[in-house]
């Protein structure tokens, strides 16, 4: 959705028109703005879209896109794009982006994980945010607007993602003064080192070999690969083997085997998580505390090169989105608000504690939230979430009373059941039966084939009608 051309086009229009009307007139027409995006690919898509919109309107506005590395996006360009690409930033002409943006020719700077900290541009009076911000990141990003300039007394933030309450809470934490709840114990790095060593997934020789190559200025990349690849390959094979064991055990209804395989998968996921935590803690604490231990430093180098190779744990379960298309999109104006950071709460900042004590979290059961979200897309905004959830529940209960559906669910696959004419007929009957209790929703459902098809998908998806019908069929068989 974030990369869908319609979504980007609508936001681009809002950004450009808001900038022209509210921001550009500031500082005698010299005011600039920044657009903060969630990924480099978004920055590329936005840059091309915003340039196209500006050209179609004949506006005299200049834009720049800033990001690190290169972006491969076949829908935008046949060749990988960088900041210096003429197809993306034709007006850059070899200059540094900071220098170019300071000139009068450029007005909007699109950034992705760049210039959100340490960027000083006094003419910056507007910011457009289309990525999730929280805590210190929110403060650092929005504070790009705080650079003083003669006559600068107004700044604007237009946020597509974050709520004003979230941003206000982030600023209040650091407003006036910020205090720590306690002191960070530097020994947490040593404790985490001991835990990782005890896992048995690597030995001292492997750590020493990688560290020696990483510290050798004459070493080649091939030497590093030869040293670290066997460790990564061993861990990846263990993860894949555990996945296969779990799948076999699940297919054979071997609960114990599936549980043991899952425990091994969780242990490997936690190993990677602990390595990342070790790197973060050591990077911070080593600046203020001398560990006087080369073994700790060696492990930092070892984990630094090993973690990027451990790509396990990215598999997703559940909904297949490969065939999903964006059918409609809406942006709602939540209004303009001045955020007052005074009256700061007394929440104190927590020190680092309990590192490496995490556990793999089970996926949250979110069927009700999924039902509400999907039905929200089917119906207008005139009904509450409670009404919509109640409506789906009513339809489901009424369809559970159908003996024909019980029989079909018991004797057909879910795909076959989905194509049943009886299912469509019984859904229509349920909508009519529910009309009195849910007149507004039923009217929309009766008037729209699209809504009825969407309801059928919800009933067979998160509402689990098919599973409930089969359960009822099994219960009736047992009672018989």
- Over the chain (480 residues), what is each successive 10-residue block's mean pLDDT? 85 94 93 93 93 94 90 86 88 88 93 84 94 87 91 92 85 69 72 88 92 89 89 91 90 89 88 88 80 84 89 58 67 75 62 63 55 61 57 78 85 81 85 69 75 79 78 71
Domain boundary among 309, 343, 375: 309
Please indicate, yes or no, whether residues 205 and 242 belong to a single structural domain of this protein: yes
Flag whether 358 is in a domain.
no
First to last CA, the chain: 50
Flag whether 143 is in a domain.
yes
Flag whether 319 is in a domain.
no
Please indicate, yes or no, whether residues 427 and 289 belong to a single structural domain of this protein: no
Flag whether 84 is in a domain.
yes
- pLDDT score for 417: 81
Please indicate, yes or no, whether residues 170 and 269 belong to a single structural domain of this protein: no
Please indicate, yes or no, whether residues 241 and 156 belong to a single structural domain of this protein: no
Pairing label, strands 108-112, 156-159? unpaired
Asked if 271 and 197 touch (Cβ cutoff 8 Å), the reply is no
Instruction: Tell me 347's DSSP state.
Output: P
Q: Give the count of domains, the chain.
A: 3
- pLDDT score for 26: 94
Identify which of 334, 357, 339 has the alpha carbon closest to the alpha carbon of residue 278.
357
Flag whether 87 is in a domain.
yes
Please indicate, yes or no, whether residues 35 and 122 belong to a single structural domain of this protein: yes
Distance CA 181, CA 349 (A): 6
Domain boundary among 174, 202, 222: 174
Domain boundary among 309, 332, 349: 309
Distance CA 91, CA 161 (A): 30
Please indicate, yes or no, whether residues 197 and 237 belong to a single structural domain of this protein: yes
Per-residue pLDDT tens over the stretch 416-428: 888 888 888 888 8
Flag whether 119 is in a domain.
yes
Instruction: Tell me 243's DSSP state.
Output: H
Distance CA 106, CA 113 (A): 20
Q: Cα 20 to chain center, whole Å? A: 30
Please indicate, yes or no, whether residues 14 and 161 belong to a single structural domain of this protein: yes
Please indicate, yes or no, whether residues 475 and 416 belong to a single structural domain of this protein: yes
Please indicate, yes or no, whether residues 240 and 198 belong to a single structural domain of this protein: yes
- pLDDT score for 370: 63
Please indicate, yes or no, whether residues 303 and 158 belong to a single structural domain of this protein: no
User: Could you count the other beta carbons within 10 Å of the beta carbon of residue 105?
Assistant: 11
Residue 229 token pair = 């690849």
Half-sphere exposure of 470 (CA within 13 A, CB side): 12
Flag whether 210 is in a domain.
yes
CATH number at residue 155: 3.40.50.300
Distances (CA, A) of 478 to 9, 323, 471, 472, 474: 57, 39, 11, 10, 6
- pLDDT score for 316: 47
Residue 201: give the domain boundaries: 187-309
Flag whether 323 is in a domain.
no
Pairing label, strands 108-112, 124-130? unpaired
| Crossing angle for the helix pair 255-285 and 294-306, to the nearest 10 degrees | 120
Please indicate, yes or no, whether residues 434 and 457 belong to a single structural domain of this protein: yes
Asked if 151 and 127 touch (Cβ cutoff 8 Å), the reply is no
Asked if 242 and 264 touch (Cβ cutoff 8 Å), the reply is yes
Please indicate, yes or no, whether residues 372 and 260 belong to a single structural domain of this protein: no
Per-residue pLDDT tens over the stretch 63-112: 999 988 888 888 888 888 888 888 889 888 888 899 999 999 999 999 99
């Amino acid at each position: 959705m974030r990369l869908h051309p319609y979504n980007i086009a609508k936001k681009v229009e809002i950004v450009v028109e808001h900038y022209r009307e509210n921001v550009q007139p500031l500082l005698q027409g010299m005011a600039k703005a920044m657009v903060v995006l969630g990924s480099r690919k978004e920055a590329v898509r936005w840059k091309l879209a915003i340039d196209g919109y500006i050209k179609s309107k004949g506006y005299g506005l200049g834009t720049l896109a800033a990001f690190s590395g290169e972006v491969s996006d076949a829908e935008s360009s046949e060749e990988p794009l960088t900041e210096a690409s003429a197809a993306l930033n034709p007006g850059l002409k070899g200059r540094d982006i900071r220098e170019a943006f300071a000139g009068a020719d450029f007005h909007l700077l699109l950034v992705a994980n760049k210039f959100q900290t340490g960027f000083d541009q006094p003419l910056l009076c507007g910011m457009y945010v289309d990525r999730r911000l929280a805590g210190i990141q929110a403060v650092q990003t929005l504070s790009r607007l705080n650079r003083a300039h003669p006559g600068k007394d107004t700044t604007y933030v237009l946020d597509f993602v974050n709520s004003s309450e979230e941003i206000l809470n982030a600023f209040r934490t650091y407003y006036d003064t910020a205090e720590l709840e306690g002191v960070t114990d530097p020994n947490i790095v040593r404790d985490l080192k001991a835990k990782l060593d005890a896992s048995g997934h690597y030995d001292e020789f492997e750590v020493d070999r990688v560290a020696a190559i990483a510290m050798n200025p004459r070493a080649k990349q091939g030497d590093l690969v030869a040293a670290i690849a066997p460790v990564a390959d061993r861990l990846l094979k263990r993860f894949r083997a555990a996945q296969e064991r779990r799948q076999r055990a699940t297919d054979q209804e071997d609960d114990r085997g599936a549980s043991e395989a899952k425990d091994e998968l969780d242990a490997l996921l936690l190993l990677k998580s602990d390595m990342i935590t070790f790197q973060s803690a050591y990077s911070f604490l080593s600046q203020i505390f001398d560990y006087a231990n080369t073994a700790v430093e060696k492990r930092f180098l070892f984990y630094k090169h090993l973690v990027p190779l451990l790509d396990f744990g990215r598999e997703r379960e559940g909904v297949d989105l490969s065939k999903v298309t964006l059918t409609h999109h809406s942006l709602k104006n939540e209004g303009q608000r001045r955020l007052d950071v005074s009256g700061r709460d007394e929440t104190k900042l927590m020190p680092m504690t309990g590192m490496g004590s995490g556990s793999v979290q089970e996926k949250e059961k979110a069927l009700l939230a999924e039902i509400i979200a999907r039905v929200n897309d089917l119906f207008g905004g005139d009904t509450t979430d409670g009404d919509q959830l109640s409506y789906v529940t009513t339809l489901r209960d009424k369809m559970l009373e159908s003996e024909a559906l019980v029989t079909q669910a018991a004797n057909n696959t879910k795909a076959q059941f989905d194509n049943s004419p009886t299912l469509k007929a019984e859904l229509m009957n349920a909508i009519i039966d529910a009309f009195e209790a849910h007149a507004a929703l039923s009217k929309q459902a009766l008037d729209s084939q699209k809504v009825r098809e969407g309801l059928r998908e919800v009933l067979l998806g998160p509402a689990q009608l098919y599973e409930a019908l089969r359960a009822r069929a099994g219960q009736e068989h047992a009672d018989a």
